[in-house]
């Protein structure tokens, strides 16, 4: 045990990636990103994006405004006075503006949402025991404690000034991931996200490496309406009753109303807690219908990636990496986004197995991973 004292968690750089015109960033919410060579994927070292100082993390879920090219992100600084740092970058990734907000307590903030002129955070009632992490006696996930009698903190920031507009408390829930957000016709904010009743997902994720999962951690796609001026939660309801996670929209519609949400789900009949997510799906927000792409029993897709058709914004493709457990092989499957229940339009066999992972991105090679 003494060998671990004072050792901070290793920078795993394993959560997501951000494609920039001249580099690829490997992201992990506990530290600055690692920079990779575009051609060889060789690691070149940590990148400060022209502004990040040591100890200033850069989260794994940046939001890109497709029209302006602006990139928004955040980082949480631990300590006696925990801080939420906000970052605005230009399309090259260079940070051009920073903001700061002192938090009431240390929690886990994994994702946020861009909705029109606002940046929104839902901070769950989770207590992070900082000292065991700093001493090296506990890993990050073991140091998290769910507070069932606590409240979810809602923070709304102006995207132009990065200053706090409003904050409010709401009933307790937990979320890892947001789908999207936008301002509706009434001037309120609509926020879609994968909502858990509590923090049982933490226990489930600990079980995954063992190959035997049993914890029932139900996540549903919910929508919340907020008053941006006060932070008040106006209403809050599920869009999809079935278990789902990793919701996304087209990158062209981030921060704006989007008809379709793409996500990972369980196929009908899968017992909750006993298997990984095994289908991808498309939710139609207008018709309130669900369409699934099912790779078959024993095959597991990664989260869906939506790739717009450059010739028309109304069409696109959905990409996923499939792991076939029976043959211990992997493929890339490409679906027509409007016909997800049909067979994929393309299947690409990979030379080696790609393990089940977290997040990814798509970038055009001829644009050198540009936007």
Q: Locate 33 and state its tokens.
A: 């990103």
Identify the pLDDT of residue 156. 99
Identify the pLDDT of residue 343. 96
Give 367: exposed, middle or buried? Use CB within 10 Å, 0-12, 13-18, 19+. exposed
Q: Which domain holds residue 280?
A: 2-367
Average pLDDT taken over every residue of the chain: 92
- C-alpha angle with apex 355: 332 to 222, nearest 5 degrees? 80
pTM of the model: 0.93
Residue 5 pLDDT class (50, 70, 90 cuts): low
Region of poorest pLDDT, from 81-85, 104-108, 255-259: 104-108
DSSP assigned state of 276: -
- CA separation, residue 345 to residues 318, 338, 340, 361 (Å): 10, 12, 10, 20
For 323-327, the CB contacts below 8 A with 24+ separation are 323/299, 323/353, 323/354, 323/355, 323/356, 324/295, 324/298, 324/299, 325/298, 325/299, 325/300, 326/298, 326/299
| Domain harbouring 244, CATH code | 2.130.10
Identify the pLDDT of residue 322. 97
Give 193: exposed, middle or buried? Use CB within 10 Å, 0-12, 13-18, 19+. buried
Region of poorest pLDDT, from 1-5, 122-126, 190-194: 1-5
Task: Give CA–CA dist 86/99, Å, rounded.
Answer: 5
Cα 261–chain centre separation: 14
27-62 tens-digit pLDDT: 998 899 999 988 889 999 999 999 999 989 999 999
Q: How many domains does the chain have?
A: 1
Residue 331 has pLDDT above 80, yes or no: yes
Helix (H, G, I), strand (E, B) or coil at 188: coil
DSSP assigned state of 297: T
Identify the pLDDT of residue 366. 44
Identify the pLDDT of residue 131. 74
Residue 355 pLDDT class (50, 70, 90 cuts): confident
Task: Give CA–CA dist 259/251, Å, rounded.
Answer: 13
Region of poorest pLDDT, from 94-103, 281-290, 311-320: 311-320
Query: Residue with structure tokens 């494609």?
Result: 19
Q: Locate 85 and state its tokens.
A: 């740092």
Identify the pLDDT of residue 8. 59
CB atoms within 10 A of CB 243: 19
Residue 6 has pLDDT above 70, yes or no: no
Could you give the count of Cα atoms lying within 13 Å of 26 in the half-sphere of its Cβ?
Answer: 15
Residue 132 has pLDDT above 80, yes or no: no
Helix (H, G, I), strand (E, B) or coil at 138: coil
Task: Give CA–CA dist 329/351, Å, rounded.
Answer: 8
Region of poorest pLDDT, from 29-43, 251-265, 327-341: 29-43
172-190 tens-digit pLDDT: 999 999 999 999 999 999 9
Residue 133 has pLDDT above 90, yes or no: no
Identify the pLDDT of residue 2. 47
Q: Where are the beta strands (DSSP E) in 272-311?
A: 279-284, 289-293, 299-301, 305-309
Range 233-250 average pLDDT: 97
DSSP assigned state of 364: -
Residue 369 pLDDT class (50, 70, 90 cuts): very low
CB atoms within 10 A of CB 289: 9
Identify the pLDDT of residue 86. 99
Q: Which residues of 255-280 are buried (b: 16+ CB within 10 A; e: fewer)?
A: bbebebbbbbbbbeebebbeeebbbb
Residue 74 has pLDDT above 80, yes or no: yes
Residue 283 has pLDDT above 90, yes or no: yes
Identify the pLDDT of residue 7. 58
Phi first, then psi: what are they for 205, rounded to 5°? Answer: -65, -30
Identify the pLDDT of residue 368. 46
Residue pair 192/221 in contact by the 8 Å Cβ criterion: yes
Give 55: exposed, middle or buried? Use CB within 10 Å, 0-12, 13-18, 19+. exposed
Q: Locate 168 and state its tokens.
A: 């409010």
DSSP assigned state of 203: H
Range 247-260 average pLDDT: 98
């Amino acid at each position: 045990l003494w060998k671990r004292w004072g050792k901070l968690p290793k920078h795993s750089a394993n959560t997501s990636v951000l494609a920039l015109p001249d580099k690829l960033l490997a992201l992990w919410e506990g530290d600055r990103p690692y920079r990779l060579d575009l051609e060889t994927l060789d690691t070149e070292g940590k990148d400060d994006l022209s502004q990040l100082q040591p100890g200033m993390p850069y989260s794994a879920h940046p939001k890109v405004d497709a029209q302006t090219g602006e990139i928004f992100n955040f980082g949480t600084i631990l300590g006696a006075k925990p801080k939420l740092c906000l970052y605005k970058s230009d399309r090259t990734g260079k940070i051009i503006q920073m903001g700061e907000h002192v938090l009431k307590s240390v929690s886990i903030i994994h994702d946020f949402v861009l909705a029109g002129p606002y940046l929104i955070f839902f901070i769950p009632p989770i207590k992070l025991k900082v000292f065991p992490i700093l001493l090296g006696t506990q890993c990050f996930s073991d140091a998290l404690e769910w507070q069932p009698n606590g409240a979810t903190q809602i923070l709304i920031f102006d995207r132009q000034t990065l200053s706090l507009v409003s904050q409010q408390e709401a009933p307790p829930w937990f979320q890892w991931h947001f789908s999207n957000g936008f301002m509706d016709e009434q001037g309120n904010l609509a926020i879609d996200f994968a909502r858990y009743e509590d923090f049982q997902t933490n226990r489930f994720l600990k079980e995954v490496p063992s190959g035997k999962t049993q914890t029932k951690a139900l996540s549903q796609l919910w929508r919340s309406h907020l008053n941006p001026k006060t932070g008040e939660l106006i209403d809050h309801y599920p869009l999809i009753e079935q278990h789902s996670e990793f919701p996304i929209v087209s990158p062209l519609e981030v921060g704006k109303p989007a008809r379709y949400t793409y996500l990972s789900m369980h196929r009908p009949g899968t017992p909750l807690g006993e298997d990984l997510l095994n289908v991808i799906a498309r939710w139609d927000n207008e018709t309130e219908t669900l369409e699934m792409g099912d790779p078959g029993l024993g095959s597991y897709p990664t989260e869906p990636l939506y790739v717009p058709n450059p010739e028309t914004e109304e069409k696109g493709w959905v990409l996923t990496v499939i792991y076939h457990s029976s043959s211990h092989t992997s493929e890339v499957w490409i679906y027509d986004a409007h016909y997800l229940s049909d067979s994929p339009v393309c299947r690409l066999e990979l030379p080696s197995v790609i393990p089940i992972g977290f997040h990814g991105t798509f970038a055009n090679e001829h644009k050198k991973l540009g936007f």
